[in-house]
């Protein structure tokens, strides 16, 4: 077993696609008592993986780290003290390997995959018992591989500060992975969804997913006020999933109700979408809670998976799939302006 080799990608630097190196790893003959050997069946790409590759991640990156934020696979072997998993189990990696519950810490942030800890862009990986979770039984390998980053971020953007209630109104921005997950979760919970996009094709996609109202932010620069007008008694939306650049926060503030929630997701730009960033005074006057979402912990992951199984939710996947060897092509496809 010690001589068994497998394919893996590593990051020699963070200077773009040329940083990616396809190499060989070697499986160990013995696992640590709390370690689990996983054979990866599917991985997904996230915008976070792209910014790491291009040197724009705000946190340290280990040299020759295996990239990737989330993946799904089969348990092959377990250490002597592993009790939660057994060979043959279908599992998903957790984004933060040491975040079981509670608030974030610097130590937890440093346990994120694809930065200081080896991610799943390889055929096999060894992870601690705390760094894996059972995949929902109703999902495929590919569907399961989208959960630990985009899925859990959307889940906590909706439920991290308040419990989403039937009859609530949620405003989402765009058609990225987090937005689509948030739309599906919100609709399954009985909420009304208002969505923004600039594309008629994507508007049709949002409608098929269950969005009640769709606003074209290019045609309607005051889309925040329009979103508010679509709520009962013009009270405003309960939760905003803020995906756009920081300049769009002003419109989100126009849309959100008093003491509503604006969940900031991703690496937001500043003033890059036609408006200047909102001021502290504007945020204070709205009496809204504005919170940056840091993915989520394993306890929330379990809650999300139960919700996914109960409501038979299936993640929305891009039709294109790539072999592990074609990772560079996958990155180029993800970065295409057409997406």
Residue 27: predicted pLDDT: 93
Q: Are 313 and 185 in contact (CB under 8 A)?
A: yes
> Is the CA virtual torsion 61, 268, 314, 159 positive or negative?
positive
Is 12 a domain residue? yes
Residue 225 has φ and ψ, to the nearest 5°, of -65, -40
Is 246 a domain residue? yes
Residue 286: predicted pLDDT: 78
Is 254 a domain residue? yes
Helix axes 152-159, 177-188, angle to 10 degrees: 50
E strand intervals along the chain: 5-11, 20-26, 35-44, 70-78, 90-93, 124-128, 132-134, 169-173, 192-197, 213-216, 237-242, 256-264, 289-292
Say if residue 119 is in the same domain as residue 225. no
Structure token digits, residue 8: 């893996």
The neighbouring-strand residues paired with 122 are 8
Is 126 a domain residue? yes
User: What are the C-alpha distances in Å from 252 to residues 151, 173, 191, 198?
Assistant: 22, 10, 18, 16
Is 103 a domain residue? yes
First-residue to last-residue Cα distance in the chain: 42
Cα 204 to the center of its chain, rounded Å: 23
Q: In angstroms, rounded to a whole number, what is the distance separating the alpha carbons of residues 301 and 84?
A: 15
Say if residue 228 is in the same domain as residue 242. yes
Say if residue 189 is in the same domain as residue 276. yes
> Is the CA virtual torsion 134, 136, 138, 140 positive or negative?
negative
Say if residue 178 is in the same domain as residue 266. yes
Other Cβ atoms closer than 10 A to 87: 11
Q: What is the pTM of this model?
A: 0.93
- Close Cβ partners of 156 (under 8 Å, ≥ 6 residues apart): 263, 293, 295, 296, 300
Say if residue 35 is in the same domain as residue 139. yes
Is 153 a domain residue? no
CATH number, domain containing residue 186: 3.40.50.720
User: How many domains does the structure of the chain reveal?
Assistant: 2
The DSSP output letter for 218 is: T
Is 33 a domain residue? yes
Say if residue 35 is in the same domain as residue 61. yes
User: What are the C-alpha distances in Å from 153 to residues 58, 141, 166, 177, 265?
Assistant: 18, 19, 20, 10, 8
Say if residue 179 is in the same domain as residue 313. no
Residue 282: predicted pLDDT: 76
| Buried/exposed code over 254-288 (b: 16+ C-beta within 10 A; e: otherwise) | bbbbeebbbbbbbebeeeebebebbeeeebeebeb
User: What are the C-alpha distances in Å from 104 to residues 139, 151, 187, 293, 294?
Assistant: 28, 18, 29, 11, 8
Say if residue 288 is in the same domain as residue 304. no
Say if residue 71 is in the same domain as residue 127. yes
The DSSP output letter for 117 is: B
Say if residue 327 is in the same domain as residue 198. no
CATH number, domain containing residue 140: 3.90.180.10
Say if residue 12 is in the same domain as residue 137. yes
Q: Are 276 and 168 in contact (CB under 8 A)?
A: no
pLDDT digits (tens), the chain, 339 positions:
446 899 999 999 999 999 999 999 999 989 999 999 999 999 999 999 999 999 998 888 999 999 999 999 999 999 999 999 999 999 999 999 999 999 999 999 999 999 999 999 999 999 999 999 999 999 999 999 999 999 999 999 999 778 899 999 999 999 999 999 999 999 999 999 999 999 999 999 999 999 999 999 999 999 999 999 999 999 999 999 999 776 788 899 999 999 999 999 976 544 445 566 677 777 778 788 989 898 999 999 999 999 999 999 999 999 999 999 999 999 999 988 665
Say if residue 309 is in the same domain as residue 182. no
Is 264 a domain residue? yes
Domain extent for 256? 161-292
């Amino acid at each position: 077993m010690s001589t068994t080799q497998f394919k893996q990608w590593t990051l020699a630097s963070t200077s773009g696609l040329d940083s990616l190196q396809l190499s060989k790893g070697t499986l160990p003959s013995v696992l640590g008592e709390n370690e689990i050997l996983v054979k990866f069946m599917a991985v997904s790409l996230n915008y976070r993986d792209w910014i790491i590759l291009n040197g724009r991640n705000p946190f340290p990156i280990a040299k020759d780290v295996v990239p990737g934020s989330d993946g799904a696979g089969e348990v092959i072997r377990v250490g002597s003290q592993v009790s939660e998993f057994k060979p043959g189990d279908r599992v998903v990696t957790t984004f933060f390997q040491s975040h079981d519950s509670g608030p974030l810490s610097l130590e937890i942030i440093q346990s994120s995959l694809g930065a200081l800890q080896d991610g799943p862009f390889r055929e096999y990986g060894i992870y601690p018992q705390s760094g894996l979770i059972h995949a929902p039984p109703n999902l495929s390998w590919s569907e399961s591989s989208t959960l630990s980053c985009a899925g859990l971020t959307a889940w906590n953007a909706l439920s991290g500060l308040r419990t989403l209630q039937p009859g609530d109104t949620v405003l989402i921005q765009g058609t990225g992975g987090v937005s689509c997950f948030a739309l599906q979760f919100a609709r399954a919970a009985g909420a009304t969804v208002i969505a923004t996009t600039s594309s008629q094709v994507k508007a049709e996609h949002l409608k098929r997913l269950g969005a009640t109202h769709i606003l074209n932010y290019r045609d309607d620069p005051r889309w925040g006020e329009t979103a508010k007008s679509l709520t009962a008694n013009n009270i405003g939306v309960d939760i905003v999933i803020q995906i756009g650049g920081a300049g769009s926060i002003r419109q989100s503030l126009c849309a959100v109700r008093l003491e509503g929630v604006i969940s900031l997701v991703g690496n937001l730009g500043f003033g890059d979408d036609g408006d200047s960033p909102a001021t502290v005074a504007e945020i204070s006057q709205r009496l809204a809670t504005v919170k940056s979402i840091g993915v989520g912990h394993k306890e929330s992951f379990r809650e999300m998976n139960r919700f996914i199984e109960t409501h038979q939710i299936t993640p929305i996947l891009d039709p294109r799939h790539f072999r592990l060897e074609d990772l560079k092509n996958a990155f180029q496809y993800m970065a295409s302006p057409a997406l």
